Amino acid sequence: MERKLIRKNILITGCLSGIDLETARALFETGATLFLTARYDYKAETNFSALNKCIWSC
């Protein structure tokens, strides 16, 4: 994908699996800043570690 979404912020909720997780992976390649929410932080760390970005839990 081309990096057309640089300087754009995107929120994706409930993205631990399925289409939401794949959407997050695809959008990561576009250069957008992603805000991803997930119910379980340990699953989020596993799924999002490939994105090489910061993960915070609340």
Give the confidence band of 22 by pLDDT, cuts at 50, 70, 90.
confident
Task: Count Cβ atoms below 10 Å from residue 58 Cβ, excluding itself.
Answer: 4
SS3 call for 26: helix
Q: What pTM was computed for the model?
A: 0.67
Q: Where in the chain does DSSP place strands (E)?
A: 9-12, 33-36
Give the confidence band of 56 by pLDDT, cuts at 50, 70, 90.
low
